[in-house]
Amino acid sequence: MTGAVGAALCGAALVFGVLAIVRGLRRSEPTPARTGPRTGVGLRWARLTRRPSGPAGRRRDLVLLGATVAGVLVAALTGWVVAVLLFPMAALVLPLVLVAPKPRDVELLEALDRWVRTLSAALPTGKSIPDAIRLSRRTAPPQLETELGVLVARLNNRWDTRDALMRFADALDSPDADGVVAALILASNRGSTGASTTLTALADSLQAQLAGRREVETERAKPFTVVRQVTIITGVTLGLAFAFGRDFFAPYGSPLGQVLLLALVSAYLGSLVVLRLRARTRPGDRILVGGRE
């Protein structure tokens, strides 16, 4: 009877997996109905599991589906029903720790530094601040490409330079960007007088900030490296022990043992989530406000 139930579970899992993969492939092309924000079940799922948008979210869902199928197979073959929960939990949490969080402020500072130096090089040729901004769009860093495109479009539509720059600062939503935008607003009010010197000094200041931020991020990445190594070593050791020393895990085969195993693994994964949350950089207070209507 147990074998029949296991076979049924395996068959259902495989069929469900194939259907889900086929459905995912059919939706690989974006459609107008899905360009807006997700609603209903999709929105709740994205919020609950912190699903990234775009292809990364689809890849994450496929990994989660594969982990669920693997958990069902392990449960059917070994009788460890807890695997149905442990495998998806690990698939959700472990990628958060195996990859350190990307420091958006460092990437944005690097992009702002490149952009400011491009502007400072264009101003001595006699161009105004709006003209220099239009020219800088051709070599815009990827982190600023979209926002710069909107800024240039507003300038071309005869927006006031200050208003367009304030909206640009709101789009970037960063205290570091506010300093750059404030310098550009002041330079545009003075008719670009001394703007090149100001922007060059600003770029040097951004370089100094970058050096400090990179040092901080290097120190912050060290706990992730240690936890990643410990997690990999522990997982490999427990996997080999489970494969070749099943007697050691025999107490966890009982219903109470599986509950205890679920509690222990949940506590460990929860500590990893806390580590990830503690490592997040809190955004600073902005100095430019009022750009939005």
160, two tokens: 């006031």
Q: How confident is the model at residue 51 (pLDDT cuts 50, 70, 90)?
A: low
d(CA 288, CA 176): 11
**Nearest Cα residue to 174 out of 280, 279, 288:** 288
Cβ(203)–Cβ(117) under 8 Å?
A: yes
Domain extents in the chain: 54-99+249-280, 103-217
Residue 32, pLDDT above cutoff 80? no
d(CA 283, CA 138): 29
Does residue 53 or residue 90 have the better pLDDT? 90
pLDDT of residue 150: 92
Q: What is the mean pLDDT of residues 253-276?
A: 85
pLDDT in tens, 146-194: 899 999 999 999 898 889 999 998 888 888 888 888 888 887 777 655 6
Residues 6+ apart with CB under 8 A from 288: 166, 169, 170, 178, 181, 182
Q: What is the mean pLDDT of residues 92-117?
A: 79
Q: Is the dihedral of CA 10, 13, 16, 19 positive or negative?
A: negative
Q: What is the mean pLDDT of residues 220-236?
A: 82
Residue 230, pLDDT above cutoff 70? yes
288, two tokens: 């430019």
As a whole number, the mean pLDDT across the chain is 75
Cβ(64)–Cβ(92) under 8 Å?
A: yes
Q: Residues of the chain with pLDDT > 90: what percent? A: 4
Q: How confident is the model at residue 3 (pLDDT cuts 50, 70, 90)?
A: very low
pLDDT in tens, 69-79: 888 888 888 77
